[in-house]
Amino acid sequence: MSQASAALPIASGRETAREVWRLSRGHRLRLATVGVLGIVSTAVNVIPPVIIGFLVDRVRAGTADLGTVAMVTAAMVGSAALGAAGTAMTIVLATRVYHTILAGLREQLVSRAMTLPQHLVERAGTGDLISRTSDDVTAVADAAPSVIPALTVTAFTIVVSLGGLAALEWPYAVAFAVVLPVYVLVMRWYLRIGPRVYGAERAAMSARAQQILESQRGYATVLGLGLTEQRHRSVLAASWGVAVWTLRARAVGVMLNLRLNFGECLSLATVLVVGFVLIDADVSTVGAATAAMLLVLRLLGPINELVFVVDDLQSALASLSRMIGVVTIPEEAGEPSATVDAGVAVRLNGVAFRYGDGPRLFDNLTLDIPTGQRTAVVGASGAGKTTLAAVIAGIHLPEDGTVAQPGRTTLITQETHVFVGTLRDNLTLGAPTAGDDDVHAALDATGAAGLLDLLPDGLNTIVGTGGHPLTDAQAQQLALTRLLLADPELAILDEATAEAGSTHAGLLDRAADAVLHGRTGLVIAHRLSQAATCDRIVVMEQGRIIESGTHNELVAAGGVYGGLWSAWEAGRSTNNTVIDKQENKEF
């Protein structure tokens, strides 16, 4: 599967407009007020060019006096003050509405991102999602200072100024209208190229974020395998990809500027020629021509600003479409469904699965797990145990077949994450309504109550990055206690007690027993002693289930599990003998 096809969806223009319109609900009265204020303030700003034209005609006719100058000055000062106040109010109100709507969209984006089916995120790459919730949100927010004035005051200025020009002398309006197709052609050219370039730039940013994230997550592996230079080249290549598309975007902006300069020159020349012809024919006056030129000059600035802001707007819209693409992912997207009989918690029926375009890891895999049963999965490395856990948890979707599991299913792996915050916040992530009594009871049940005595502020201790450090065993205790508080119907432990060394193995195993008590459990066992305590053991080999039964049944059968158990017993006996000899020697 290609990266493009695996990426999270991008909303179409129609979908984006529909979602923005929906988000504007409750703010439309203020948006209407913005429109009224914008029209009034820009209409006031048309007064100076007209009054200057009036003054020019009075001066040429010799009828201007001190009173005329005072009247013109007062009108210009008054219109400037009113126009500035109206413009400021329009921008402030528009900005507040804009950021309120953006805040609502941001909240929806984060909320939907946190509930996306994990298989969608895994397939697209977490870098894509991170880029949409960071780079794209920033791009839309940063567009406000330029986009808001252009889409409010500037747009109104263009409309009102054109109306004033037509009311003053319609030939001037016609002359300017003849040049407008130049701007239309410029916009058509830009809209054909700009969105594609900015969309590619955003996609390149997602790819870069993915490379950086993978390097950070796999830091220990990178160092251990000597992959520093390889990862450096991968990040560098992704960064150059962003640089290339950014340079192309800037080049498009420069070419846009050149075309606008040509349109500006053509507009002024056309109006000047028309003014000369009209004055020569004694159809217009110098004052009217002056007012027309001032109105055109007043128009050119907003028109250029509006065209330029389209550059920022395209970048913002590219990001907005990516944000809304996540928000509008259907809740049921990709979620598997199947029917099960009463008393069956998990059912895999004819499941086939592969990673990307690789070979099938599972083919026609069938498995039922009765409600309340604790099932262990064992097998050699690469047998498909972790993949099976991920398929049952819904992280990976089957290529064929169906998977049914309880609505409340929780998966814990060996890679436990401690979030920045208090210990209480970390423990109650899956049970936000749990009180301190519930937290203490869960800690007691998992044997982790002693952890509080080691922390300076008990449940209020800040843990995670920059906080009080936790050992691997303590982090796994935290994860198991968190699961117990979440109280899922199905608990999947994928080597969730595989803390390095054996010092805390017994403590973690007892914690796992407490978590699985009274609920359906699936244990990916890394120690056969864990499997032996389960109600049922499933043995996997090369993606197939080759044995299934209780511990005693499988040992008595003398099959693959029986051989594994014998080897495990022999190894444990040898280790105990070595420990005893060491202790006698020390004694």
Paired sense of beta strands 490-494 and 409-413, if any: parallel
Query: pTM of the full predicted structure?
Result: 0.58
Q: Is 205 exposed, middle or buried (0-12, 13-18, 19+ CB in 10 A)?
A: buried
Paired sense of beta strands 536-541 and 544-549, if any: antiparallel
Secondary structure (DSSP) of 191-247: HHHHHHHHHHHHHHHHHHHHHHHHHHHTHHHHHHTT-HHHHHHHHHHHHHHHHHHHH
Write the single-letter amino acid at 582: Q
Number of helices (H), then strands (E), belonging to the chain: the values are 23, 11
In sequence order, the β-bridge partners of residue 370 are 344
pLDDT in tens, the chain (587 residues): 444 445 788 888 888 888 888 888 888 888 888 878 877 777 776 777 777 777 777 776 777 778 877 887 888 788 778 878 887 888 888 888 888 888 888 888 888 887 777 667 777 777 778 778 888 888 888 777 767 766 666 667 777 777 767 776 777 777 777 777 887 788 788 878 877 887 788 788 878 888 888 787 777 777 777 778 888 888 888 889 889 988 888 888 788 878 877 877 887 788 788 888 888 787 777 777 777 777 777 777 777 777 767 767 777 888 888 888 888 888 654 444 555 667 888 989 889 988 877 788 888 899 999 999 999 999 888 888 888 988 888 888 888 888 888 888 888 887 778 888 888 888 888 888 888 899 889 888 888 888 888 888 888 888 888 888 888 888 888 888 888 888 888 999 887 666 544 556 677 778 888 888 888 999 988 778 888 889 999 999 888 999 999 999 999 998 888 888 888 787 766 554 443 444 334 32
Q: What are the tokens at 507?
A: 């403590």
